[in-house]
């Protein structure tokens, strides 16, 4: 499918061909007919991406501070790689579209294939096919043109601003900024029974404002503006001012304060500076309100991504209900869009459309519509790319999922390995698959996960955590060698399913059956047998290997202390969701249980644990905990994992004691090893947590038909993590 992207490093805009997106439960797959370029929000994004690196840094000092903190912890080279990866991102543009439903998944009431719908949110970008969560999809009523329905998201933004102003019949309202959202706001206000005074810097927009419902208009620079407002309101000032202008100056806010009556309301919708002048706000006791995008539900993960609606009785107008209301205004004719549509472009000419925003065409614009004319059957699900020349004996790897971690820490090492050929990549968005395929010289980008797996010898799975077990099982059952990022499973039920599947397929840590062939899914060569490896990279780190060698002659038990100053993650981050990320204990804590197993050379037998619960926090978060692990060989490990410390302290410190020896790993950048009262040290220029060595070990295992980590250790580590959760809940010692 065709999609519009912008290179965040250079600002270059381009149209690419990518696979169609995958459909999650509770979402709707839509073939786009029209999408609308948001002249305000998208212009800001385009301008930001077009800035130099210095310009980006000046515009986002908060991100610069994050980069500096990361460099202090992980080293300049690792930080530079991460920054370059983020700067190289290909960013989809757009959030307003309309089209025809192709398919629905899960619990999506009231919509079926063939229905016409309006779509909103980041998933409703400028692409031929989009997959949109159900709460951001609204049915288009009879009589409303799809081209007009594509404006619904912008209409919902305008409508939410009006709702925040709490308009009453007969009130007099000022609208500062008569751009696209401002002129929609004018029409909605008129439909609500208000008299509107329009203010803008362009005469043409003032004229259009008069045609669409303004009772009076004037230039923002008019020296008599204040007097005109007093005349318009009988000497009082407007009851409310809605700011829809985008401005880097404080002018709109100051102007609003002057023209609004005592105890009036000021609502900020547009992206404008808000250095509030105290005197007018204080003397008039003005009520300042911000309007958050499309309405209640915006930025609420449970509403937008998980499809949980708010009760109608308590939240009358949500994002989706605002979208529906705007469509009803279109149906009734109370909002007109034809006067606002100034340009139409086929999606093939999308770059020309954005030249309007950048000022290259030097002509006025308001509503810019992209049109999509290609038939569904002509849109490819698979896109071929120029791949690296392949050796006949190379191992073909399919990549399922390609987020930031995989792009920064896994794919670079696979890309340059002489024994590997990257065959295809699948991601949820499809767009990511195409950009990753081009960057890492992968042969194709694919929408069909099963087809990608069947065509490969081995599979790298780097999706979100909740999908790891299902994809690993699918690949194993098709006879493929699997590398799955940690964790392998986020529930005990998933882990048991994997365990049973491994047993039924006779896959062990040494080798798989030579003759495995089920449903035509055996590997293409007998040397690439089905096997399973999990991305526990720290056990492969140079520091870990040196410490293991230091204790090789020690036959007795060890004592290990692992301290992790992990830092806080917002509670709405996906990893904190037990259903998606598994929570931090399962999602990241498993790394340190595995490290303990690797350093002790023994499985976990007993677990005891306690967690810190902060006032007002979610008790299920489990992101600050202390764990004690008892191992089969008598070793004991303590894992102290904290999200409540100062992030200036290095993240990880591992201390190992045993047999009269000791060793310390400091954040995988430096180690100390003690024996006979003498110290030996080793430092690295940058942090090395073992990802490169991990990939090398996996490839050696592929060639030998085995896992690079013993399966009994993989299963034991995950079982121990679930035992930690039970121990926290029961305050008991749990045996594995």
How confident is the model over 460-510, as pLDDT tens digits?
Answer: 999 999 999 999 999 999 999 999 999 999 999 999 999 999 998 888 654
Q: CA nearest 324: which of 131, 127, 111?
A: 111
Q: Which two tokens stand for residue 42?
A: 């998208």
132 has a pLDDT exceeding 60 = yes
Q: Tokens 């350093």 sit at which residue?
A: 599
Please enumerate in sequence order all residues whose Cβ is within 8 A of that of 40, keeping only pairs 6 or more positions apart, or say none.
Answer: 179, 180, 181, 246, 270, 271
Burial class (CB in 10 A: 0-12, 13-18, 19+), 529: buried
619 has a pLDDT exceeding 70 = no
Q: Which two tokens stand for residue 422?
A: 């990257």
Q: Which two tokens stand for residue 589?
A: 């804590």
525 has a pLDDT exceeding 50 = no
275 vs 617, more confident: 275
Q: What percent of the chain has pLDDT over 90?
A: 75
Separation of alpha carbons 672 and 679, rounded Å: 7
pLDDT given for residue 618 in this prediction:
65
Contact between residue 117 and residue 28 where contact means Cβ atoms under 8 Å apart: yes
| Mean pLDDT computed over 431-450 | 93
Quick one: pLDDT band at residue 511, thresholds 50, 70, 90? very low
Burial class (CB in 10 A: 0-12, 13-18, 19+), 714: buried
CA atoms within 13 A on the CB side of 506: 8
Contact between residue 448 and residue 381 where contact means Cβ atoms under 8 Å apart: yes
pLDDT given for residue 530 in this prediction:
86
Separation of alpha carbons 517 and 545, rounded Å: 37
How confident is the model over 412-429, as pLDDT tens digits?
Answer: 999 989 899 999 999 998
- Mapped onto helix, strand or coil, the DSSP state of residue 276 is coil
65 has a pLDDT exceeding 80 = no
Q: CA nearest 607: which of 588, 623, 625?
A: 625
How confident is the model over 296-340, as pLDDT tens digits?
Answer: 999 998 899 989 999 999 999 999 999 999 999 999 999 999 999
DSSP string, 345-380: EEGGGHHHHHHHHTTSS----SEEEEE----GGGS-
pLDDT given for residue 80 in this prediction:
64
pLDDT given for residue 667 in this prediction:
96
pLDDT given for residue 58 in this prediction:
61
- Mapped onto helix, strand or coil, the DSSP state of residue 454 is helix
Separation of alpha carbons 658 and 666, rounded Å: 18
Three-class SS string for 221-267? CCCCHHHHHHHHCCCCCEEEEEECCCECCCHHHHHHHHHEEEEEEEE
Q: What percent of the chain has pLDDT over 70?
A: 90
pLDDT given for residue 43 in this prediction:
75
Quick one: pLDDT band at residue 6, thresholds 50, 70, 90? confident
Mean pLDDT, the chain, whole residue set: 90
542 has a pLDDT exceeding 90 = yes
Q: Which two tokens stand for residue 478?
A: 């098709």
CB atoms within 10 A of CB 397: 27
Strand-by-strand arrangement of the 395-400 sheet: 382-384, 444-446, 420-426, 395-400, 458-461, 481-484, 531-534
Quick one: pLDDT band at residue 160, thresholds 50, 70, 90? very high
| Mean pLDDT computed over 346-357 | 91
Q: At what angle do helices 41-50 and 350-357 cross, to 10 degrees?
A: 90
Beta bridge partners of 14: 5
Contact between residue 263 and residue 284 where contact means Cβ atoms under 8 Å apart: yes
| C-alpha distances out from residue 398 to 84, 526, 583, Å | 24, 18, 27
* 621-657: burial string, b at 16+ Cβ within 10 Å, e else: bbbbbebbbbbbeebbbebebbbeeeeeebbbbbbbb
pLDDT given for residue 46 in this prediction:
72
293 has a pLDDT exceeding 60 = yes
How confident is the model over 196-223, as pLDDT tens digits?
Answer: 999 999 999 999 999 999 999 999 999 9
pLDDT given for residue 355 in this prediction:
87
pLDDT given for residue 237 in this prediction:
97
Please enumerate in sequence order all residues whose Cβ is within 8 A of that of 555, keeping only pairs 6 or more positions apart, or say none.
Answer: 659
**Residue 50, phi then psi, degrees to nearest 5:** -80, -10
Q: CA nearest 585: which of 624, 615, 637?
A: 624
How confident is the model over 19-34, as pLDDT tens digits?
Answer: 999 999 999 999 999 9
- What is this structure's pTM? 0.85
């Amino acid at each position: 499918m065709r999609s519009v992207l912008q290179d965040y490093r250079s600002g270059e805009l381009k149209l690419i061909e990518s696979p169609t997106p995958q459909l999650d439960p509770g979402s709707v797959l839509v073939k786009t007919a029209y999408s609308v370029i948001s002249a305000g929000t998208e212009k800001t994004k385009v301008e930001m991406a077009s800035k130099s690196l210095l310009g980006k840094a000046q515009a986002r000092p908060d991100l610069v501070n994050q980069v500096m903190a990361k460099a202090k912890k992980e080293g300049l080279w690792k930080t530079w790689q991460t920054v370059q990866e983020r700067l190289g991102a290909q960013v989809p543009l757009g959030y307003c579209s309309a089209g025809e439903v192709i398919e629905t998944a899960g619990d999506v009431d009231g919509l079926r294939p063939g229905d016409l719908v309006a779509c909103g949110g980041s998933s409703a970008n400028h692409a031929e096919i989009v997959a949109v969560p159900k709460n951001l999809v609204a049915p288009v009523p009879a009589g409303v043109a799809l081209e007009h329905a594509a404006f619904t998201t912008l209409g919902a933004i305008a409508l939410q601003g009006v709702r925040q102003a709490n308009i009453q019949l007969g009130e007099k309202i000022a609208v500062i900024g008569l751009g696209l959202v401002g002129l929609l706001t004018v029409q909605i206000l008129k439909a609500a029974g208000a008299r509107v005074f329009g203010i803008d810097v362009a005469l043409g927009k003032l004229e259009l404002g008069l045609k669409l419902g303004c009772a009076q208009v004037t230039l923002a620079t008019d020296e008599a503006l204040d007097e005109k407002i007093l005349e318009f309101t009988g000497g009082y000032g407007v009851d409310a001012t809605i700011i829809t202008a985008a401005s880097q100056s404080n002018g709109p806010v100051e102007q609003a304060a002057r023209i609004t009556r005592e105890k009036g309301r000021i609502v900020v919708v547009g992206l404008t500076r808000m250095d509030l002048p105290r005197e007018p706000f204080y003397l008039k006791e003005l009520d300042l309100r911000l309007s958050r995008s499309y309405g209640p539900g915006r930025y609420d993960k449970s509403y937008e991504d998980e499809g949980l609606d708010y009760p109608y009785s308590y939240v009358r107008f949500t994002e989706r209900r605002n979208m529906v209301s705007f469509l009803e205004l279109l149906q009734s004719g109370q909002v007109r869009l034809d006067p606002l549509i100034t340009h139409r472009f086929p999606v093939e000419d999308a770059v020309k459309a954005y030249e309007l925003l950048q000022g290259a065409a030097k002509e006025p614009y308001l509503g810019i519509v992209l049109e999509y004319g290609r038939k569904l059957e002509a849109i490819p699900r698979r896109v071929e790319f120029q791949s690296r020349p392949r050796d006949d004996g190379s191992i073909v790897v399919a990549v399922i999922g390609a987020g930031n971690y995989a792009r920064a820490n896994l794919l670079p090492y696979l890309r340059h390995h002489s024994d590997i050929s990257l065959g295809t990549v699948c991601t949820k968005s499809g767009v990511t698959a195409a950009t990753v395929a081009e960057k890492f010289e992968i042969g194709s980008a694919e929408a069909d996960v099963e087809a990608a797996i069947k065509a490969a010898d081995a599979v790298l799975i780097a999706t979100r955590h909740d999908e790891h077990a299902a994809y690993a099982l699918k690949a194993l059952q098709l006879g493929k060698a699997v590398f799955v990022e940690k964790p392998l499973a986020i529930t005990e039920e998933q882990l048991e399913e994997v365990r049973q599947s491994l047993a039924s397929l006779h896959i062990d840590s040494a080798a798989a059956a030579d003759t495995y062939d089920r449903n035509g899914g055996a590997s293409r060569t007998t040397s690439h047998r089905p096997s399973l490896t999990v991305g526990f990279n720290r056990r492969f780190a140079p520091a870990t290997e040196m410490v293991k060698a230091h204790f090789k002659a020690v036959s007795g038990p060890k004592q290990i202390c692992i301290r992790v100053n992990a830092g806080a993650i917002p509670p709405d981050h996906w990893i904190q969701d037990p259903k998606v990320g598994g929570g931090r204990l399962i999602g990241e804590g498993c790394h340190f249980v595995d490290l303990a197993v690797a350093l002790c050379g023994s499985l976990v037998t007993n677990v005891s644990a306690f967690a810190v619960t902060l006032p007002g926090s979610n008790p299920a978060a489990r992101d600050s905990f202390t764990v004690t692990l008892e191992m089969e060989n008598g070793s004991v490990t303590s894992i102290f994992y904290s999200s409540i410390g100062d992030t200036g302290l290095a993240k990880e410190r591992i201390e190992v004691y045993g047999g009269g020896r000791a060793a310390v790993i400091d954040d995988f950048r430096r180690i100390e090893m003690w024996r006979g009262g003498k110290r030996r040290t080793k430092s690295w220029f940058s942090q090395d947590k073992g990802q490169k060595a991990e990939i090398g070990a996996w490839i050696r295992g592929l060639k030998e038909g085995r896992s690079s980590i013993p399966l009994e250790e993989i299963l034991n580590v995950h079982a121990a993590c679930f035992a930690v959760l039970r121990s926290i809940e029961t305050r008991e010692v749990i045996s594995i």
